[in-house]
Amino acid sequence: MKRLFKYCASMVVFCAFCIGAANAQTVIDTSRTADFMVKKVLLGNGVLVGDVKYTGEKHAISIYEDSTSQVGISKGILLTSGNAYYAVGPNKTPRSGWASFAPGDEELEAIARGKTWDASVLEFDFVTISENLSFRYVFASEEYLEYVGSKFNDVFGFFVSGPNMTKTNIARLPDGVTPITVNTVNSGLNSEFYIDNAYYNTTDPYIWDVRNRKVILNKKYLQEEVPPKYDTQFDGFTTVLTAHYKVIPNQVYHIKLAIADVGDDILDSGVFLEAGSFQSSGEIVVELAEHFKRNDFAQKVQSKKTEIIPEYELKEIKIPKKTLLGQIEFEFDKYSITSEARSAIVSMFNEWKAAKNAKLELIGHTDDWGSHVYNEELSENRSKAVAQILLDLGVPKNLMVINFHGETLPIGNNDTEHGRARNRRVEFFLVN
């Protein structure tokens, strides 16, 4: 019965894609190479990548753009277990998907404890200038909520391997332990990380009960239709999450980003990887060796100028030379600056003055208490509060860069008061 619904739903979703494209809210572009997507969309500051490889169906991976940020991400890479076009809303069916009849992935099967199908795997080597690697993502699925608790436990993973470490899956909840699947993040379990977007049938008197595998009366028949809140086909998705890992700067690591259907190859799931978020920062800043040939990709694309799409203008990978001057810390849930912190700011201002014409970069951070959105705003306010003092001291506005990362780049253990205090900080970088 689940397979029968798939074919019926396909026609509905294909029409939904046409509507989404006409509204110009969501853009799905499957024409670009994986190399392009990683180097020119996903990559952020402080990281170089090489040897990009994609295994899977071409229609399962795409560049994704949505100016309204329905899932919390406005641009990035979409990696799916079916067809990327099926991510486009509105949601007009509770069951949609594309079966490619492609093989699964053994490492994902170990997480889901079930047979996988239609795996899409994006992998590449990378080196960083600092000790912290991070990137932001959202997991979404059409298996929600009907198949929660069943064997159809669609799964994804971010597997990092490198020097002096065993391969590690960093696609986990903030507890650092729980992998993210349909069965581990939903309306009943870890619900603070789940957003529902379910479609409810109000037009058919009888519907299929997927839990009990039988036809039942539709209790919502002829009720007023309430359309799903978010303009995406997926019936549910996570909040924006951050993957992070401690690495050794200037050492080559490998990451494998993979997603697959579990139990069958029908309903789709996807993981959205935020553009520019694959980045590195921290207290350690090193000079990078020439690990990868940086110009090979640019030359390859320039030789095929007719293929370049204006929206994705090529840019040089720039890794600024930064020196950490120091940092100041803040009291819990505050961005006011103490007299002790003001003295430290004056000292760092004098160091900047001696450097002559260098830029000052301010990066605000928080501990992990509170929501992601709240902490991001708090870290921004901390950076702005420091910037105002520096402006008053005489630093020109055009020589100051304000950044903020919320709770995503801790340097201390958030399970202890001392660690949380270290994370409530603004870092000062001298940028040459």
What sign results for the dihedral spanned by CA atoms 349, 352, 357, 362? negative
Q: In this predicted structure, what is the pLDDT of residue 369? A: 87
Are 257 and 158 spatial neighbours (Cβ–Cβ below 8 Å)? yes
CA distance 164 to 377: 36
Give per-residue pLDDT as tens, 145-177.
Answer: 777 777 767 889 999 999 988 899 999 999 888
3-state secondary structure of 247: coil
Are 287 and 29 spatial neighbours (Cβ–Cβ below 8 Å)? no
Q: In this predicted structure, what is the pLDDT of residue 209? A: 56
CA distance 300 to 285: 31
Nearest alpha-carbon partner for 108 in 215, 182, 13, 18: 182
Give per-residue pLDDT as tens, 377-416.
Answer: 999 999 999 999 999 888 998 899 899 988 888 888 888 8
> Cα 138 from chain centroid?
5
Burial level of 15, CB count in 10 A (0-12/13-18/19+)? exposed
> What type of residue sits at position 73?
I
Hey, how many other C-beta atoms are within 10 angstroms of the C-beta on 50? 18
- Rounded to 5 degrees, what are φ and ψ at 139? -100, 135
Q: In this predicted structure, what is the pLDDT of residue 212? A: 56
> What type of residue sits at position 356?
K
Are 418 and 426 spatial neighbours (Cβ–Cβ below 8 Å)? no
Peptide bond just before 378 cis, omega within 30 deg: no
Helix orientation angle between 372-393 and 339-355, rounded to the nearest 10 degrees: 60
Give per-residue pLDDT as tens, 202-239.
Answer: 666 665 555 455 666 767 667 776 677 888 888 899 99
- β-strand pairing of 359-364 with 400-404: parallel
Within a 13 Å sphere around the CA of 194, how many CA atoms are in the beta-carbon half? 21
Are 283 and 132 spatial neighbours (Cβ–Cβ below 8 Å)? no
Q: In this predicted structure, what is the pLDDT of residue 216? A: 66
Per-residue pLDDT of the chain (432 residues; tens, 9 = 90+): 444 444 344 433 344 343 333 344 788 999 999 999 999 999 999 999 999 999 999 999 999 999 888 899 999 999 999 999 888 878 776 666 777 888 999 999 988 888 898 999 999 999 999 999 999 999 999 888 777 777 767 889 999 999 988 899 999 999 888 988 888 999 999 999 999 988 776 666 665 555 455 666 767 667 776 677 888 888 899 999 999 999 999 999 999 999 998 877 678 899 999 999 999 988 888 888 778 865 443 333 333 333 333 344 433 334 445 677 889 999 999 999 988 888 889 888 888 888 877 888 999 999 988 887 888 899 999 999 999 999 988 899 889 989 998 888 888 888 888 888 999 999 998 886
| 0.85 surpassed by pTM | no
Q: In this predicted structure, what is the pLDDT of residue 274? A: 96
CA distance 185 to 272: 16
Are 142 and 267 spatial neighbours (Cβ–Cβ below 8 Å)? yes
Domains of the chain with CATH codes? 2-302 (no CATH), 320-431 (3.30.1330.60)
Q: In this predicted structure, what is the pLDDT of residue 202? A: 61
Q: In this predicted structure, what is the pLDDT of residue 56? A: 94
Q: In this predicted structure, what is the pLDDT of residue 305? A: 35
The string over 61-86, giving b where at least 16 C-beta atoms fall within 10 Å of a residue's C-beta and e elsewhere, is: bbbbbbeeebbbbebbbbbbbbbbbb
